[in-house]
Amino acid sequence: GAGVSQSPSNKVTEKGKDVELRCDPISGHTALYWYRQSLGQGLEFLIYFQGNSAPDKSGLPSDRFSAERTGGSVSTLTIQRTQQEDSAVYLCASSAKTGLYEQYFGPGTRLTVT
């Protein structure tokens, strides 16, 4: 079956611009996660959604970052007024439920802020 898909695969933007990154989870998966992977750093948790519950935003690095999930499926991560330190690969993952269920990752969006 289809895996997690993300778009765009690459995004180059100028400092100060807003960007939107999209994630389509595996069909039927109720939990969705966003992570960030920077050069030399491990994967860093950003936010997760589970069904209709309020999202856990505890990993968002600043109020310039926000995310929403529409209809319990597609999610959009928005970064406002991008900074050079936002350059990273943004990874989305989904799992059948939260808890001890393996998370399946998409290919990521490589964001470069110039």
Residues at the contact surface with other proteins, assessed by CB under 8 A = 4, 31, 33, 35, 40-45, 48, 50, 56, 58-59, 91, 93, 98-100, 102-108
Q: How far is the CB of 86 from other proteins (least distance, A)?
A: 19
Q: How far is the CB of 87 from other proteins (least distance, A)?
A: 16
Tokens standing for residue 19: 């960007």
Q: By C-beta, is 66 or 98 nearer to other proteins?
A: 98
Q: How far is the CB of 43 from other proteins (least distance, A)?
A: 4
Q: By C-beta, is 53 or 114 nearer to other proteins?
A: 53
Q: By C-beta, is 54 or 100 nearer to other proteins?
A: 100
Q: By C-beta, is 18 or 95 nearer to other proteins?
A: 95
Among the listed residues 2, 82, 71, the one whose alpha carbon sits nearest the alpha carbon of residue 32: 71
